Amino acid sequence: METYSNINDHVQLHDRLFVTLFTEEQVQERVREIGAELTGAYRDKCPLFVSILSGAFVFAADLMRAFDGDCEVGFVKLSSYSGTRSAGDVQTVMGLEKDLRGRHIIVVEDIVDTGRTLHFFLDHLRSRQPASVCTVAFLRKPDAAVFPVQVDYVGFDIEDRFVVGYGLDYDGLGRNLPGVFQLSE
């Protein structure tokens, strides 16, 4: 069975068909814009980008290269999602060993759905006494919000449909797609 094909404006992953939501060009333009805004706000602060694995690793890699100034990056592994529905409790699987006291933290998330992941992680971060914390989400589903979280920079607000690409997967596949695709109904 063919599990991967990418013809024009759609892609098949496993048993599902996805259609283009944002092209690579649209994604890259938006990342450059957010990078420029972050540069304006953090240029002399040597911020620490904290990327939530796995989904945000692609966005974080592009975003930090769109930042013009000294910066560092760290990774944290949490989990709250399997298949196409949000499920279960958020857990820290792999943490940040760095001392965060006095640091300016830029949390980088792939997508804010219910807000559970970010809400939990922000609570954790505050206990580690950073100088400041801001949040950047590549995508946000405003209709799905359950947990109150402030997202300071949003790539795109989208409808409450399952999406893949640019780091986001469907059961392991699709993270390498340079654009964003949504589940075709």
Which residues are near ligand 5GP by CB under 6 A? 55, 80-81, 86, 109-117, 162-164, 168-169
DSSP 78-110: EEEEETTEEEEEEEEEE---S--TT-EEEEEEE
Nearer to ligand 5GP, 103 or 116 (CB): 116
Nearer to ligand 5GP, 62 or 110 (CB): 110
Distance CA 76, CA 176 (A): 20
Out of 18, 59, 110, 165, the only residue in the binding site for Mg ion (CB under 5 A) is 110
Residue 110 catalytic?
Answer: no
CA 5 to chain centroid: 24
Q: Which of 44, 62, 68, 113 is catalytic?
A: 113
| Shortest distance (Å) from residue 183 CB to ligand 5GP | 8
C-alpha dist (Å) from residue 161 to 5, 13, 50? 21, 16, 26
Instruction: Report the interhelical angle of 24-42 vs 57-65 (nearest 10°).
Output: 60
- Residue 35 makes contact with Mg ion by CB under 5 A: no
- Residue 113 makes contact with Mg ion by CB under 5 A: no
User: Which option in ligand 5GP, Mg ion, none does residue 57 bind, with CB closer than 5 to 8 A by kind?
Assistant: none
Contacts with Mg ion in 41-100 (CB under 5 A)?
55
Distance CA 33, CA 20 (A): 21
* Residues recognised as catalytic: 113
